[in-house]
Structure 1
């Protein structure tokens, strides 16, 4: 085992840092040279970064959404017995084409137009950074490629020498077609059967290159970076979704369509209670310790999709109801106290004796009421952006959601919740607007907000309960609905977690961090 540190690459001359958008492999996964291993966002675009050599991912050192300076650690990897392709430029001197090696010396191969992102089908050669006859080392930039989004430098995947340039600057080239002829060590390139044919045989070369690309991508789902992020947020398995994009690529619309008819809708159940039916989802290991997810004002059980999926993977039984006045539950709520009134009976109906509770925003009021009313049934409380810690609140948002009746109103209000874009299809927005137009939340909105702000208080309950059970509070530092500074009023017995680059919905903006906290 030969461990090395994978560092943030420089994808262009002006790039000083990049955001980690997503990992395309997981710890323990092996990869080959050229395989995309992570998605990086710069100030210009989102691009996939290819491995410059073979290896296995051992440990990810940064979180999704982290901004990382060029050259700073991203992950620990095992490169095995192969050459150290993670070395900084100048750390080692690559072999020269005049030398021979154990694998049979140097051979000529085609350099194909790379795919810099899932949506890229062709690229324009902006500038060649190496001329015929010039040598390069693994990781050194050899050409600049312009896509429909940006201009990025492409690094050499192995040591070599430029033999001939086949496509000139300014030319548009389809992904996979040869752009140059290079010389490379035989032990650093794919076997001949997997390589494109030489440029001297153009018909064979052009047809063989896509076959090589397809083989390299075999077993990996074709999806846009945005589609991958949406799938993670909605708790969907990207590999199980059909793609309507070019060559079966999964795109944003495919994920949103699946989210509208997937786990959020098809798994709904109903518990018959004294005051009416309560809609809920119940998933995960039946024998796992139960966790109860309580959504906030104007939400429903589907807002927990990503967190629910992660908790299920951790072996938990996950129960998420639509609280009174919300979603498909037909019980009304005219006051905050109505939200928790049916929860003890609901837990009885599901045969749950003890549960850990995770609650968001106004759902925290219900969680505290449940913990007070059902002594011994709540094992722990995790409150995300909880209401009731102070008076300040965006009352316009609360009243707006209660009275909205058009998709445009809804989408503008939803933008206040997250630091990311609103990820709802037009059909989903229309459905939500139609539901809100029923006016079920008007009375509740007036009961929880007033001229001076919040009408609910949870500080006394938290102070009391934190002496009997673990209580933690999570807040996004960019919350536009409730100020994160409300945590300053909490007693020292409460664990506080403040999440950067997160708004009022940390379970959307930083779901990975939230899951790590909840499963710690």
Structure 2
């Protein structure tokens, strides 16, 4: 056996670095070709990386949580054949053989763990006729323990899909015909079912039989560490899969670290904001009273996955922003100044008090804003939930915060203890006391009116109300001027929490739904 240094693999053309989620083989343990040896997270996915040949892990150079550049050493192993691990572009002899006669092979249900006997095809990530490279994720499989994206061990082309999403099949059962080599999978059903999928007529796709919430391994681990039940989380991933950002939104661990924040210098001080995505249309997201940019975690992720850009700021008096926010003027000024740095034609999305701030900013920005979306907006009716507004402004304990958050809707009580303590510490600073008095009287009368400025706006405006909102009444929609289209979702005061997929679809598709 030869000693070989293993490096961070490139699992896609755009991958520059990866995070070690965990080693699945310990130093001193042997592994077989195709056996998952470590779990990696990239900017796009979480994947179990398989051994490209038989061997034994000698030593690991990277620990869980380490972010490593592609090509940098991560471990040393004893291997039987270094050629198995060589870059495919550095093997001209093998490539020549492949060019002369590319085999057609049967791809079988992989074995993703020692105890796995069967799996459910969650989805195909490569279309029929499409080529894929070594390491590219080609399908997603759900077992009784996890959901994993399965990478190709060789480059090839997907010729024909034999197993459709939702089908539960034993390990070794045929799932596709491919052009190129595949790893042989041992399974008692391999021979018995070899012909059945190929000859079976196409029909309705059966539903997956497992009621277990679908979640990535990282999301499951974070939920377990923070004591959050997966059935409390609305997944924003493919087919409703729960992803890391979904858990972070509830656990509080997703609040941006200092290095992840961007800063806008204004005459009043620095305003903090985050950016998700890099292309397409720009969406400026403005949170509500007592929130911050992390309230948009799920929506920001959905916008970025759709190929667009989400910019979420911390309003004055909130989060990491250094500017104090004692009135609506200060909030609107921050929104305006940040919007002026973005490309013209952005969509402005405001929630609750942030909606009022967005209306005031839109009045100043004119044609720089293409569309305005208001979520459960404050300032459209005579009353607002004063218990929440003044309660949050005065709160100084995690217990108070927990009870107040339940007023926001069904997901309001799902924050972890750590997140509640963090929020209580922020509220105890007293930054929101002046703003609370500007927003509502102690008995719940609103002191903000956005109906007049809304009627004067010359742009496309939509407003979304939650039918179960306990802070802003859904009947406030009856007061909107004629130039504002009203829409309703079965949600509380936080539709971005309660109905994230529906809301993302509404925003990204231009609000075409009634």
Which TM-score bucket, shorter chain as reference?
0.5 to 0.7
Matched, 1:342 2:345: no
Which residue is 2:368 aligned to?
A: 377
Secondary structure, in 3 states, of the residue corresponding to 1:264? coil
Which residue is 2:466 aligned to?
A: 476
Give the superposition deviation at 1:438: 0.7
| Aligned equivalents of 1:503, 1:324: Cα separation in 2 | 25
Once structures 1 and 2 are overlaid, which stretch shifts more, 350-359 or 405-414? 350-359
> Which of 321, 326, 349 is equivalent to 2:313?
321
| Aligned equivalents of 1:56, 1:429: Cα separation in 2 | 36
> Which of 264, 268, 276 is equivalent to 1:271?
264
Give the superposition deviation at 1:194: 3.3
Which residue is 1:43 aligned to?
A: none
- Alpha-carbon spacing, 1:400–1:289, altered in 2? closer, same or farther (3 Å): same
Give the superposition deviation at 1:418: 1.7
- The Cα offsets for residues 450-486 of structure 1, whole Å up to 9 and x where unpaired, read as 1461000011122222xx2111111111101111010
| Aligned equivalents of 2:260, 2:234: Cα separation in 1 | 17
1:340 touches 1:369 (CA, 8 Å); kept in 2? yes
- Alpha-carbon spacing, 1:233–1:336, altered in 2? closer, same or farther (3 Å): farther
- Alpha-carbon spacing, 1:260–1:397, altered in 2? closer, same or farther (3 Å): closer
- Alpha-carbon spacing, 1:346–1:475, altered in 2? closer, same or farther (3 Å): same
Once structures 1 and 2 are overlaid, which stretch shifts more, 332-341 or 408-417? 332-341
Give the superposition deviation at 1:33: 10
Once structures 1 and 2 are overlaid, which stretch shifts more, 272-281 or 258-267? 258-267
Which residue is 2:295 aligned to?
A: 303
> Which of 485, 489, 513 is equivalent to 2:475?
485
Give the superposition deviation at 1:404: 0.2
1:29-48 alignment runs, 5 A limit: none
- Alpha-carbon spacing, 1:463–1:428, altered in 2? closer, same or farther (3 Å): same
Q: Which runs of 5+ in 2 are unaligned?
A: 1-106, 112-118, 126-141, 147-166, 175-184, 191-211, 510-514
Which residue is 2:93 aligned to?
A: none
Secondary structure, in 3 states, of the residue corresponding to 1:507? helix
> Which of 390, 397, 408 is equivalent to 2:388?
397
| Aligned equivalents of 2:384, 2:237: Cα separation in 1 | 27
Count of residues in correspondence between the two structures: 326
| Aligned equivalents of 2:400, 2:282: Cα separation in 1 | 37
- Alpha-carbon spacing, 1:117–1:487, altered in 2? closer, same or farther (3 Å): farther
| Aligned equivalents of 1:299, 1:511: Cα separation in 2 | 17
Secondary structure, in 3 states, of the residue corresponding to 1:194? coil
| Aligned equivalents of 2:495, 2:311: Cα separation in 1 | 19
1:34 touches 1:157 (CA, 8 Å); kept in 2? no
Give the superposition deviation at 1:386: 0.2
2:234 touches 2:242 (CA, 8 Å); kept in 1? no
> Which of 444, 450, 463 is equivalent to 2:455?
463
- The Cα offsets for residues 403-424 of structure 1, whole Å up to 9 and x where unpaired, read as 0000000010001112235232
Secondary structure, in 3 states, of the residue corresponding to 2:381? coil
Matched, 1:517 2:509: no
With the length of structure 2 as denominator, give the TM-score of the two structures: 0.54
- The Cα offsets for residues 356-383 of structure 1, whole Å up to 9 and x where unpaired, read as 1001000011111111112222111100
Q: Kindly report the root-mean-square deviation, in angstroms, between the aligned alpha carbons of the 2 structures.
A: 4.5
| Aligned equivalents of 1:282, 1:56: Cα separation in 2 | 29
- Alpha-carbon spacing, 1:511–1:238, altered in 2? closer, same or farther (3 Å): closer
1:389 touches 1:457 (CA, 8 Å); kept in 2? yes
- Alpha-carbon spacing, 1:511–1:56, altered in 2? closer, same or farther (3 Å): closer
With the length of structure 1 as denominator, give the TM-score of the two structures: 0.54
Give the superposition deviation at 1:491: 2.8
- Alpha-carbon spacing, 1:277–1:478, altered in 2? closer, same or farther (3 Å): same
> Which of 268, 271, 284 is equivalent to 2:277?
284
| Aligned equivalents of 1:438, 1:220: Cα separation in 2 | 36
1:99-498 alignment runs, 5 A limit: 193-195=187-189, 221-222=216-217, 223=220, 226-227=229-230, 230=233, 232=235, 255-256=247-248, 260-262=252-254, 264-265=256-257, 267-285=260-278, 287-348=279-340, 350-420=341-411, 422-450=413-441, 451=443, 453-465=445-457, 468-498=458-488
Q: Which runs of 5+ in 1 are unaligned?
A: 1-30, 36-49, 59-114, 120-155, 159-175, 177-185, 197-216, 243-251
| Aligned equivalents of 1:293, 1:257: Cα separation in 2 | 16
Secondary structure, in 3 states, of the residue corresponding to 2:382? coil
- Alpha-carbon spacing, 1:289–1:371, altered in 2? closer, same or farther (3 Å): same
Give the superposition deviation at 1:353: 3.5
Secondary structure, in 3 states, of the residue corresponding to 2:477? helix
2:249 touches 2:298 (CA, 8 Å); kept in 1? no
